[in-house]
Structure 1
Amino acid sequence: MEDADGAGEPGRRRQFGCASFNQDSTSLALGTRSGYQLFSLTSVEKLDCIHESANTPDVYIMERLFSSSLVVVVSAAMPQRMNIYHFKKGTEICNYSYPSSILSVKLNRQRLVVFLEESIYVHNIKDMKLLKTLLDTPSNPSGLCALSTNQSSSYLAYPGSVTSGDIVVHDTNSLSTVATIPAHDSPLAALAFNASATKLASASVKGTVIRVFSVPEGERLFEFRRGMKRYVNISSLSFSSDAQFLCASSNTETVHIFKLEQLGPSAEDEAATWTAYMGKMFSAASSYLPAPVSGMMSQDRAFATVHLLSSGQRNVCTLVTIQGLLRLLVATADGQLFIYNMDPQDGGECQLAYKHRLVGVDDETHSGEMKSEGGQLTQETHSSPSYAETAALPASGHATATLTGYSEDGGAKQGDVIPEHEFAVGPVCLDDENEFPPIRSCRSGTGDGQG
């Protein structure tokens, strides 16, 4: 999920840091001026701080791998270096340096992918071996991308053009491009896979239309209209775990939730309502109308909406079941988390269930206190020991890199070397359940949010 304060802009991120939900939305990672924090999302009223570190300032990328203890951190102080930690042990697993600033990092059970402005690095997550480098990709200054998270496939989506909304879908298991989807006329602004990697949602910089495509075929399945009156900056797209709903947030005060359903399951149902009848008539007439007009008539409006208390700031949203109910979560760039109740049957305006303040106005997260609507939540400060203070990793090896050319198959060209890296001697035991817990089935309120 995209960060909450403008991907690809380390200078701006120093003000608010970043916010990202993990792959199954059971935890929230927050980057701040003073470090980073992890919060469990298994309760609406209580927000537990799983881990807090003040060792790394100005964190602008913070990603957690599911409910494991593996986290990826990038700081504005060293924007070319990615650090991977086992936060529960307080140890550094490895770090990699790249030729230019890191704009985004995505990870799943098979791969870790690093985005620079004009290149992409695909690593095997179990040993961090560089498998492939995609060079001279279209300029992507925001680091926009999406990586699927299910076990059987590992698809990567990223912009295929700087002038139009083409999406490149790359299979990071076979290390080959499987599709290029002409999704929009304008450049892309947001991308998201569903949990099973069968659907891909996209929005352009205009922000008026959201489309959903099949993966890997690239067939258009759904088209939703967010609005017609004004262009907006869509900052976040996210599917519910069952892919029945898709939420979209932007720099406006409204978050839209769309329902992914095929209308008109039977002739009797279609004739039951006036709206269904009109929909049928529009569908029949669309073949006689110009493509832009017929496209507008086939688009569905939001099933449910949320009106935030403020607008004009970036945020990230997700749909997740907490304590048996479907909730919409919105983390804002000023350090707040809003939790809304959503009615999956009737939709409509979602009701605010709880509001948590994650950081203060001055970003003083070291105070160990979080304020929330309904009272105060007290958390302890858990500062991880430094890499030198822990005995969990033996002496490390180090390689220096000064060249930046890489071959398409991931191997170094003659005279070139892989990115600068420092790694633990011996294997990274990601198959050990204590180190790298297996994916749990999606059940309501069962995740403990800890590795």
Structure 2
Amino acid sequence: MARRRSSGITSLAFNQDQGCFTCCLTSGLRVYNVEPLVEKAHYSKDELGEVSLCEMVFRTNWLLVVKARRPCSLMLLDDQQRAFKAEVVFKSPIRALRARKDKVAVVLSTSIQVLALPTLQRVALLRTPTAARPLCAIATDPNAPQILAAPAHRKGSLQLLDVSRAVKGAQSSSPAVVGCHQTQLVCLTLSASGAKLATASARGTIIRVWDTSTKNMLHELRRGSDYADVYCIKFNQSGTLVCCVSDKGTLHVWCARGGSRRARASARACGARAVCALLDDCNAAVICEDGTFHKFTFSPEGNCHRSDFEYFLQVGDDDEFLQ
């Protein structure tokens, strides 16, 4: 079926266990389960207006929402009651959100503020460079250190902060700085435990994997020889695999444990801007801003094939985005 060039999608994001994703639209908000691909929640434009950002809190009923017409306000939506339970207003627009069960990191123009959930009270503050991309990652394992990763003021470097040790309402006294690349950072992610960090620079030719405790590089994974804009990097839940997608439209999956540095699998995904997820040790998913869903199955030998394809905006009660 022919699709309109503009899908109306403003942003896409997987939740922390990578089993669900949110789709923010000019016409509202949708929430999907990945396996099977079904719509879990649907909010119309009349209910929410245009939504620019949404972050799920695992598979709970909490959704963190930023509306396009209120870009400085973070609202906590109870999906079970379909009602807002808390709101906090910042002095500048919210650029990105990253949540764990008890906290959310809010990326602003010159800082990242960490708020407690569900009260939205500030518990930590980290200063970031003005010109940086809205990058941020936070460890999601409740039994691991609460590591937060964000760009540092030196080009190609990032800072690591344990937000559980930060002073309420103040900047940490000692964030650790790691020099990762010679050019500007464009993408980063943490494993669920916070033990591993993966980064990509503006060149986009390699993905580097770091040990957050020693600050040493563990692996250098080659994505390709041509420059690329890396859109998304993700670890699997155990931190043993890492994947990425870029403007080259290709999904790459590598081993991220032991001494293995070879590409585990790669496959053509989509030409549109996309985010990726590792569903388990043999399957990955890619969702794209053209409204397409791609599932890939791969093997340790490097074989990879697309095992499922859907227009996820057609999964639900209507096709509202075509209006």
TM-score by length of 1: 0.64
Could you tell me which residue of structure 1 aligns to residue 179 of structure 2? 182
Does structure 1 residue 248 correspond to structure 2 residue 244? yes
Is contact 1:194-1:240 (8 Å) kept? yes
How big is the shift at 1:167? 0.9
Does structure 1 residue 347 correspond to structure 2 residue 302? yes
Point out where structure 2 has 5 or more consecutive residues left out of the alignment.
1-5, 167-171
Is contact 2:71-2:94 (8 Å) kept? yes
Query: 1:84 corresponds to which letter in structure 2?
Result: L
Is contact 2:38-2:316 (8 Å) kept? no
Distance in 2, matches of 1:317 and 1:122, equals 25
How big is the shift at 1:78? 1.3
Spell out, residue by residue over 1:248-271, the C-alpha distance to the aligned partner (whole angstroms, 9 max, x if none): 10011211111123348xxxxxxx
Could you tell me which residue of structure 1 aligns to residue 30 of structure 2? 37
Could you tell me which residue of structure 1 aligns to residue 13 of structure 2? 20
Between Structure 1 and Structure 2, the one with more helix by share is 1
Could you tell me which residue of structure 2 aligns to residue 317 of structure 1? 276
Could you tell me which residue of structure 2 aligns to residue 331 of structure 1? 287
Distance in 1, matches of 2:317 and 2:54, equals 18
Where does structure 1 differ by over 4 angstroms across 4 or more consecutive aligned residues? none
Distance in 2, matches of 1:26 and 1:249, equals 18
- 1:388-407 correspondence runs (5 A): none
Distance in 2, matches of 1:41 and 1:71, equals 17
Does structure 1 residue 239 correspond to structure 2 residue 235? yes
How big is the shift at 1:242? 2.0
Is contact 1:22-1:66 (8 Å) kept? yes
Aligned length: 307
Query: 1:339 corresponds to which letter in structure 2?
Result: K
> The residue matched to 1:367 in structure 2 has which SS?
coil
Query: 2:211 corresponds to which letter in structure 1?
Result: S
How big is the shift at 1:134? 3.1
Does structure 1 residue 357 correspond to structure 2 residue 311? yes
Is contact 2:87-2:120 (8 Å) kept? no
Of structures 1 and 2, the one scoring higher in RCO (CA 8 A, sep 6+) is 1
Query: 1:203 corresponds to which letter in structure 2?
Result: A
Residue 369 and residue 75 in structure 1: after superposition, are their counterparts in 2 closer, same or farther (change >3 A)? closer
Query: 1:27 corresponds to which letter in structure 2?
Result: C
> The residue matched to 1:83 in structure 2 has which SS?
strand
Q: Which piece of structure 1 moves more, 251-260 or 14-23?
A: 14-23
> The residue matched to 1:184 in structure 2 has which SS?
coil
Residue 132 and residue 261 in structure 1: after superposition, are their counterparts in 2 closer, same or farther (change >3 A)? closer
Distance in 2, matches of 1:88 and 1:140, equals 38
Could you tell me which residue of structure 1 aligns to residue 77 of structure 2? 85
Residue 14 and residue 356 in structure 1: after superposition, are their counterparts in 2 closer, same or farther (change >3 A)? closer
Distance in 1, matches of 2:62 and 2:253, equals 31
Q: CA RMSD in A?
A: 2.2
Percent identity reads 24
How big is the shift at 1:197? 1.3
Could you tell me which residue of structure 1 aligns to residue 116 of structure 2? 124
Distance in 2, matches of 1:104 and 1:157, equals 13
> The residue matched to 1:232 in structure 2 has which SS?
coil
How big is the shift at 1:140? 4.6
Query: 2:115 corresponds to which letter in structure 1?
Result: H
Residue 116 and residue 369 in structure 1: after superposition, are their counterparts in 2 closer, same or farther (change >3 A)? closer
- 1:157-168 correspondence runs (5 A): 157-161=149-153, 164-168=155-159
Point out where structure 1 has 5 or more consecutive residues left out of the alignment.
1-12, 265-299, 371-451
Distance in 2, matches of 1:134 and 1:116, equals 10
Is contact 2:27-2:320 (8 Å) kept? no
> The residue matched to 1:169 in structure 2 has which SS?
strand
Could you tell me which residue of structure 1 aligns to residue 169 of structure 2? none
Between Structure 1 and Structure 2, the one with more strand by share is 2
Is contact 1:319-1:327 (8 Å) kept? yes
Distance in 2, matches of 1:83 and 1:140, equals 26
